[in-house]
Structure 1
Amino acid sequence: MSQVPLLTEHDETLTFQDHYLRVRHLRHATSEAAGERPTLVFLHDSLGSIRLWRDFPAHLALALGCHALVYDRRGYGESAPFGPEPRTVAYLEQEALLVPAVLRAAGVSQAVLFGHSDGGTLALLTAAQEPGVVAAVVTVGAHVFVEDVTLAGIRVAQQQYSTTDLPQRLARYHGTRTEPLFRAWAETWLHPTFRNWNIERYLPQIQCPVLVMQGAEDEYGTAAQVEAIATQVAGTAHAVLLPGLGHTPHRQDPEQVLKLAVNFLRAVL
C-alpha cells in the first residue's frame, strides 16, 4: 500500500497518574465532516505498537473521511514501561478499564474501535462497558476464550524467541521493553490458571455493530472465536473468515481487509 497524503500526523505523550502513553493523531486534512464522525481508534496486539500498524490506519481514515488515533499501550513501543505489579489472569479486563481514560485524554468522544488480537479483545470489552462512546467495533483475530491452538502457537513463538532474531526484530519497536512484554504475554497465557479465561459473558452487552475478521489459517485461533463473537453480541454482527491468511491479515493482505472494513463501516455509520 502506498504512502497516504491528505492526512496530518501528530505524536504526543499523554500523562496519567503513574504512567505515560505515546499516541499518534491522524487528522483528515480534506474532510470537513471528519470532526463530526467517530474517530477510528486502533488497539494493537500482544506484541504490537504504533509503528507495527504501518500505514493501515492512515488508509482506513482516508477512505472513510475520519480522524484516527493510534497508541502504544503501557509496556509497549514508546509508552511507559510496565509497572511493578505482575500481570494477572484478568489483565485484558483491567486494560479495558483504561481505554475510556485514554479516549477522554485524547479528546475522543465517539469511537470506532479497530483491534487486532489482544486489541480486538480490548475493543470488545470496551464496547461492552461504554455503549455511549463506541459506535462500532472491528476485530481481527480477537480471542474470547483460550484454545489449544492458541497455546501451541505461543509455544512456537517462545521457541522462535530463543532460537531466531525475533528479539532483535521486536526491539526495533519496543527497545528495552522487549523482554518484559514478551515474557508477560507468553508466561501469562501459558500459565495453568489462564486456561479457563473467558470473556463471553460480556458479549451480550455489546450493542453496536461488530465486524469480526480472522484469517482462516490463524495460528492462534480457530473459527470458534469468530462464531462465539458474532452469535453472542447484541448488535448487528458480520463474520468473515479470510482464506489463506494467518494471524495478521491486515499486514498479509491489507487491501482485502481495508475493503471489508470500509464497506462495513460505511454501511453502519
Structure 2
Amino acid sequence: MEVSRSGDCPDAGSTTNAACRLPGVFPNDRTFQGELDLLYIDVHVNVNKSWHNDTTEEQEREGSTGSPQAASPVDHEAPHRRQSKMTDLSTPSIRTHDSWVEHPQGRIYARSWTPSNMRSTAAPIVLFHDSLGCVELWRDFPAELSAAAGRRVVAYDRLGFGKSGPRRARPALDFIADEAATYFPAVREQLGIGRFIAFGHSVGGAMAIHCAAAFAAECEALITESAQVFPEELTLRSIAQAKEQFRDETQIGRLAKYHGDKTAWVLDAWTENWLDLEFASWSLDTVLPRVACPVLAIHGNQDEYGSTCHAEIIGNLSNGRAQVEVVPDTRHVPHRERPAVVLELVSRFAGSLD
C-alpha cells in the first residue's frame, strides 16, 4: 500500500493510538458561534439559488499556502475561486433530477447531477452528508464536482434529515453501520446505481467506509473528507461545546430552515449518540481492512472535530491503494473552505481510476 501524505501523525496504525487522544493534540480551543455558521448553518448563501449564479464573498476568499503533494501534486497556493471553473464556456452543462426512494421506514429524498460530458460507463459519485447535513447544505459543491469529474453525482438526505421522512426514536448506537446495511441498499437499487464511488463528509465518511466494505465488489473507490474513525477526545469536546451553542434559538432557527420540525431530532441524533458513554468503544478498526478499493482521505490540519490521525488511520488500515491529503490552514469543511483544492484532488483521483 502506497500512501502519500502532506501531514504527519505518529504511529497512526489503529484507533487505539494514544497520540490521537491526547488533550493537547489540537492547538487550542475555539469559539464555536462562528464555527456553526460556517460549518453547518448556511447563513451566508441562499442554497436555493442556481449553482452557476454569481459567487459570494465567502466563496471568493483566497486560501493559504501549503506544500504540494508528492504523489499527486496540487497547488495549495492557488487562489481558491469557483467562478473561473463555473463560468468557463467550456464547462459542461449539468442536469439535475430529484427522486424519492421508498423505504419501509419512510421516504428518502435524493438529487442527482449529471454532466453533459459524462461517459456512460463512469461510476457515479455518491455523497454521504455530515451529522447536521442534507442535500441542500452541500450547496453548489455537487454540481461543481459533477462538472470537474465528468461523472454523475448523487446525494440523498438520510431518513430523519432534510426533505426525507421523519424518524421517531433516536438512532441506535450502531447507526453508522446501519446506514450501509439498512438504507443505502434501497438507495442503490431504486436509483439504479451499480458500481459507485463513495464520498462521505464527517460522519458521512464513516458511513462511506462501511458502504465500501459492505459492497466491496461494487465500490470502485472511497473518498473521505474530515471523517472520524473513533470518538477522539477532540471530537467529543467540540460536540459538547456545539451542543451548548445550540441552546441559542437563533442557531436552532437556522438549522430548522433545512430540517423543519425534525430539527430537534437531528440535533439529538448527533450530540446524544456521540456523547453517549456506550459509544466510546466504537471504531472502524475491523471495518477498514475490508476496504479493498483505492482510497482518498482528505483532512484539514485545523479540523476542530478530529485530528489528522483519522485520515492517517484510514490510509494505513485500508487494503487498497491509499492517498492521504492533509490540507493546510483548513478546518472541518474543506469543500467549502478550499473548494478548488478539493475539486482538483477528487477529479484527479477519480480520473486515475479510468
- What's the TM-score bracket when you normalise by the shorter of the two chains? over 0.9
Q: What is the alpha-carbon distance in structure 2 between the residues aligned to residue 124 and residue 191 of structure 1?
A: 22
Secondary structure at the aligned position of 1:239 is classed as strand
* Counterparts of 2:221 and 2:197, CA distance in 1: 5
Q: CA deviation at 1:96?
A: 1.5
1:265 equivalent in alignment to 2:350: yes
Q: Which amino acid aligns with 1:267?
A: S
Q: Within 5 Å, give how 1:116-265 maps onto structure 2.
A: 116-163=201-248, 165-265=250-350
Give me the whole-angstrom Cα distance separating, in 2, the residues matched to 1:47 and 1:18: 20
User: Does residue 30 in structure 1 map to residue 117 in structure 2?
Assistant: yes
**8 Å CA contact 1:42, 1:115 repeated in 2:** yes
Asked if 2 retains the 8 angstrom alpha-carbon contact of 1:215 and 1:245, the reply is: yes
Counterpart-to-counterpart distance in 1, 2:340 and 2:151 = 18
Which of 21, 27, 41 does residue 108 from structure 2 map onto? 21
CA distance in 1, matches of 2:170, 2:200: 24
Q: CA RMSD in A?
A: 1.4
Residues 154-183 of structure 1: CA deviation (Å, up to 9, x unaligned)? 011111101362211111111111111101
Aligned match of 1:7 in 82, 87, 94?
94
Which letter does structure 2 place at the counterpart of 1:70?
A: A
TM-score (norm 1): 0.95
CA distance, structure 2, for counterparts of residue 44 and residue 215 of structure 1: 17
Identity %, equivalent residues: 35
Q: How big is the shift at 1:5?
A: 5.8
Conserved in 1, the CA contact under 8 Å of 2:92 and 2:117? no
Matching of residue 86 in structure 1 with residue 86 in structure 2: no
CA contact (8 A) 1:127 1:137 kept: yes
d(CA) in 1 for partners of 2:202 and 2:331? 12
**Which shifted more, 181-190 or 60-69?**
60-69
2:231 maps to a residue whose letter is: V
Alignment of 1:68 onto 2:153: yes
Q: d(CA) in 2 for partners of 1:156 and 1:241?
A: 25
Deviation at 1:221, TM superposition (A): 0.5
* Aligned-residue offset at 1:18: 2.4
* Distance of aligned partners of 1:86 and 1:163 in 2 relative to their CA distance in 1, 3 Å threshold: closer
Verify the 8 A CA contact 1:100 1:126 in the aligned structure 2.
no
Deviation of the 1:63 alpha carbon: 1.5
- Contact 2:170–2:265 under 8 Å retained in 1: no
Asked whether the equivalents of residues 205 and 234 of structure 1 are also in contact (C-alpha less than 8 Å), the reply is yes
- Structure number with higher strand proportion: 1
Counterpart in 2 of 1:111? 196
| Alpha-carbon contact 2:213-2:292 (below 8 Å) kept | yes
Q: State the aligned residue count.
A: 266
1:39 aligned residue: 124
Shift of 1:194: 0.8
Cα distance, 1:53 vs. partner? Answer: 0.6
Task: Give CA deviations for 1:86-133 in whole Å, capped at 9, x if unaligned.
Answer: 322211111121212211111110111111011111110110110111
1:268 CA drift (Å): 2.4
Give the match's secondary structure for 1:20: strand
CA contact (8 A) 2:312 2:324 kept: yes
Q: Which structure shows the higher helix fraction? A: 1
User: Cα distance, 1:198 vs. partner?
Assistant: 1.0
Measure the CA separation in 2 of the matches of 1:267 and 1:202.
25
Do the aligned residues in 2 keep the contact of 1:21 with 1:74 (CA within 8 Å)?
yes
- Structure 1 equivalent of residue 68 of structure 2: none
Per the alignment, residue 10 of structure 2 pairs with none
Counterpart Cα distance in 2 of 1:130 and 1:254: 29
Distance 1:5 1:65, change over 3 A: closer
**What TM-score comes out, normalization by structure 2 length?**
0.73
Verify the 8 A CA contact 1:146 1:197 in the aligned structure 2: yes
> How far did residue 256 of structure 1 move?
1.0
Q: Which runs of 5+ in 2 are unaligned?
A: 1-81
8 Å contact kept, 1:24–1:71: yes
1:124 and 1:155 map into 2 onto residues whose CA distance is: 25
